[in-house]
Amino acid sequence: MLKVAKFGGSSVADACQFKKVKDIIEAEKSRRYVVVSAPGKRHSEDNKITDLLYLCHAHIKYSVPYEQVFNIIAKRYQGIIEELGLDIDINYYLDDIKSNINDDVNIDYLVSRGEYLNAIIMAELLGYDFVDAKDIIFFNYNGQVDFEKTNNKIVEMLNKHKKAVIPGFYGILENGKIKTFSRGGSDITGSIISKAIGADIYENWTDVSGFLMADPRIVDNPKQINKITYRELRELSYMGATVLHDEAIFPVRDASIPINIRNTNNPDNRGTIIIDGEDSDDSKNQVITGIAGKKNFTVIAIHKEHMANEVGFIKKVLEIFEEKNISIEHIPSGIDSVSIVISSEDIEQYLHDIVEQIKIKCNATSVKIYENMGLVATVGRNMVYKKGVAGKLFTALGENDVNIRMIDQGSSEINIIVGVENKDFEKAIKAIYGAFVK
């Protein structure tokens, strides 16, 4: 058994959390490769180290003294070293970073130093080797990972290091400059390493015990999802259920490596296993896997007589949005009508112009705007095998006085999406959960 274990910011926020990580690693010899994020928040009023590093860069960019912010970062690491009783001259590394700060300092270099320093400390604590991500993660000039080069280098390097700690979040460009992933990108680092070395499991340790069947801020004590497929996860994540970076799925999915979401603060909990296959032994009787959603969408309802007979009508509509670089969420349609669902934030400044263009370019009979809409997705791989799922869902909403404004279901039947008014959003999620989860 070979595992890659990635620990997020909350798992390495202070010395106490570092000790929990050490206990987890030492509990299983299979956890040979460890990926760490930068220190996260220790409490609600605290700052993430990465945010402070971004703030440093902003100060430098606008010629504002940055030393006070940098000193806060330095004291955080010095405190971790002191509490852990480690023999590391952390000031040597901090001074080296500071010596590289100038007016045109590479922002990716600066903000990646949180992971870099944390990995050095974690390697010393565990007695593991330190392997810098810049030596194994390679980006092309277009900012995309060069997977062939990266995979080959990871295998070559880690064959020399049987136990290693690697900083997440960054790699290197062809010109030698540091390049970061998007925020939360340490998840991607762990996934890439897992695929390259053929790990049996990719463990992603955070501050929650996997995915829940609904938002705990809406549903009281929702059940934990024990097993979920990659397809279901994509659907739920897209609708707001975020525990794992979206891009972290692809490398391990392609290699059929399960992801195990675990809780650093509750390591005895099995967490959620994300699998590639469609079947799951322990959930055959579970109709739905989870419910997620987002508020604040705008629906543009377009009606035109004989629309179904007009070739290219929808193409003309979509080109109007493409010209404004606006992403479309959903496109439910009828015989003579089509609705375009867009994030209200994305379309706000263009709404009037877009409506006028639709009327003119598409010769629409009518164009109506419905704002303050929420989308609720009910997701489950087993829904396709159960009769009456849609009926049960709509009945639950009706009995709870929720007016359904839109229905969208793909032919795969892995999800049913309903549009409701923002004011009914929480009520809708509670109603669906109550109908399907006992």
CATH number of the domain bearing residue 298: 3.30.2130.10
Q: Domain limits at 48?
A: 3-207
Judgement on whether residues 22 and 165 belong to the same structural domain of the protein: yes
When the pLDDT of each residue in the chain is averaged and rounded to a whole number, the result is 94
Question: Distance of alpha carbon 159 from its chain centroid, rounded?
Answer: 30
Residue of higher predicted confidence among 411 and 217: 217
At residue 246, the pLDDT reads 83
pLDDT tens per residue, range 138-182: 999 999 999 999 999 999 999 999 999 999 999 999 999 999 999
Q: Is residue 401 part of a domain?
A: yes
Q: What band does 333 get if pLDDT is binned at 50, 70 and 90?
A: confident
Tell me the chain's radius of gyration from C-alpha atoms: 25
Beta bridge partners of 192: none
pLDDT, mean of residues 192-219: 95
For 293-311, the pLDDT digits (tens) are 999 999 999 999 989 889 9
Q: What is the pLDDT of residue 386?
A: 83
Cα 29 from Cα 3, distance rounded (Å): 9
Q: Same domain for 193 and 68?
A: yes
Residues 26 and 170 in one domain: yes
Number of helical H runs and strand E runs in the chain: 15, 15
pLDDT band for 284, please (50, 70, 90 cuts).
low
Alpha helices by DSSP H, listed for 177-290, are: 186-197, 230-238, 249-254
- The share of the chain scoring above pLDDT 90, in percent, equals 84
What is the bridge-based pairing of β-strands 272-275 and 259-263?
A: antiparallel
Give the integer Cα–Cα distance in Å for 293 and 429. Answer: 8
CA dist 340 and 333 (Å) reads 9
Q: What's the pLDDT at 186?
A: 96
Q: What pLDDT does residue 308 have? A: 85
Last residue of a domain, one of 145, 180, 207: 207
Mean pLDDT within 379-395: 90
Number of domains, the chain: 2
Domain termination residue (choose one: 172, 207, 242): 207
Inter-CA distances, 418 with 223, 293, 403, 421, 436, Å? 22, 9, 10, 10, 16
Q: Say whether pLDDT at 279 is over 80.
A: no
Same domain, 19 and 163: yes
Residue 281 lies in a domain: no
239 within some domain: no
Whether the pLDDT of residue 51 is over 60: the answer is yes
Domain match, 68 and 170 both = yes
How many whole angstroms separate alpha carbon 121 and alpha carbon 80? Answer: 9
The confidence score (pLDDT) of residue 238 equals 76
Shared-domain flag, residues 53 and 179: yes
pTM (2 d.p.): 0.88
CB of 2 within 8 A of CB of 12?
A: no
Which of 195-209, 221-235, 269-283, 401-415 is the least confident region?
269-283
How would you classify the pairing of strands 272-275 and 3-7?
A: unpaired
∠ CA 211-215-221, rounded to 5°: 85
Give residue 385's pLDDT.
76
The Cα diameter of the chain in Å comes to 77
| pLDDT score for 73 | 98
Confidence of residue 278 (pLDDT cuts 50, 70, 90): low
What does the pLDDT average to over 92-110?
Answer: 94
The reply to whether 309 and 402 lie within a common domain is: yes
Boundary (domain end) residue, out of 207, 239, 265? 207
Rounded mean pLDDT, 259-286: 83
